Each structure stands twice: as structure tokens, then as C-alpha cells.
Structure 1
């Protein structure tokens, strides 16, 4: 770390030769508990539309190095009134549609279709022998009745 000409503590990086990179070369170091860091985090949280932590962290790290950034951003999002309202679970369950008539025919089992099971059958897979069982779907018009 080093102190620049304005008295700001900055991280020393190894990319000073990069010409098109401005802010990532030496970000300012701030304590996560300082009031200026909290204001910066809140500003970026609101500027990026209360987005996820990774997006906000990426944007903050373009200019600043804030200690314990992830946990501080979680705390800001937890205290944010907009996030609390819009990310909460609904109080009432959503209205569900009616059941189809096939599900309501409890007195006519297998009215629409049926399933028949068969097996076991011996099957060879490579050098291994296994026993398998099967199921057949039978449409309504081919199903036998007792």
C-alpha cells in the first residue's frame, strides 16, 4: 500500500503499464465501518437498482477497496426499505386454478388411462446382467375391465 499526493491510502497494483485502465491501477482503501464507505456502498446499491451483491461489488471495486465489502453490502440490502418490500414473500398464497374433471373422478379409477406393470426381465449391459421391470401405458379404449 502507498499514500498518494492527496494523502489517500491506495493499494499498489502490478498493472501500472496498462494505458486504458484508470481506476483499477490503485484503488483507494477504505474501512468498511467508516461513514464515507457506507455512503459509497449505499450510493452504488441504489445506482444499480438494488441489484445483486456481485454487481454492486464489481462496480465499487473499480474505484475503491473497502474492507469486508460483501458483508457490509448484505447489511445495507437488509436495511434497505425498497429491498425489504420488493424481495419479501407474498402474505397470501396465489389463487390456484380449478382441478380438471379427470382428477375429480375418484369413484371411477383409471377412467382416462391405465398403467400395467410387467417383469422382471433379464437384460445384458456390456458384461453385466441385470433384472429390469417395465410399465405400459394403456389408453382408455384398449384397457381391459374386470
Structure 2
């Protein structure tokens, strides 16, 4: 245009017009909106005005939004012991009961789940009951097969910081 209309960049109607052009151009970026506005009007310091309007556009904010990273704590040293042998750092949990056929009748049994905290390997031991004796027997069978763990973890607590007795 030879004599374009001169608009002040902070005026309310100027911001409405910029928002209208921004929406008309399907929420285009700064340069597209600036080029379209320059063909019709003159606005001093046009880029800051356009960036301000685009920064307040609700649709553009939603489109550019990124999911927040979850707050996670540091891993314990047991999870980072890559050079250690498997099951040096072991987690212990139980699940069940499961019905098992013994002779001609069915009995309830639980399973002790030993997990290597470093390699995420799993070792399962069938336990007769949830008594202390059954837990000790399951731990003895585990140690006989996999070796004595350095640390044994259960329910987010360390059961022993030294080698368990056999």
C-alpha cells in the first residue's frame, strides 16, 4: 500500500486486529503474521506486538505445551552396581496364595519373589506358609542356588546391611 493506516502497537484495537489476523492464518507464527499485517497497516515495533499477542493465544499455548517431567528421586546404590554379580542386591516380596495339587487334594501355597535389583532378574521359591520358618527355608534355598546376597531389601526397607546368616 502506498499510504497504510498507522496503528499504535499497545492500543487495544491493534491487539484485537493482530489476534484476528493470527487466527485467520490458522495460528501462524510471528513472521507470517508480520508479513500479512505489513501489506495492510503500519505498526511501529511490529514484531514485539505480534509476539505478545501470540504468547497470549490459548490455542497456541495448548499446542506448544509439553508434559511435565515427573519428579523422581535418585536411584539407590544397589540399582547402580553394574559390576556386581547377579543377586548381590536382592529384593524380597511374596505373592499368592495359589492352589497347588498335592497327592489328591488341593492346598494353598505362597511364592517368595526374589528380584535382583541390578539386573532385574527374578527367582521364585514356593513357600508352604507365611511363617518365619518358611521364609528362612526359602531364603536358604535361594542362597544355595544363587549365592549369599550382600543386601536383602523388602518393602522399601533394607533387611540387613551385612550378609544374612545361613
TM-score range, shorter chain: 0.3 to 0.5
TM-score by length of 1: 0.45
Structure with the higher fraction of residues in helix conformation: 2
Q: Normalising by the residue count of structure 2, what TM-score does the alignment of the two structures yield?
A: 0.40
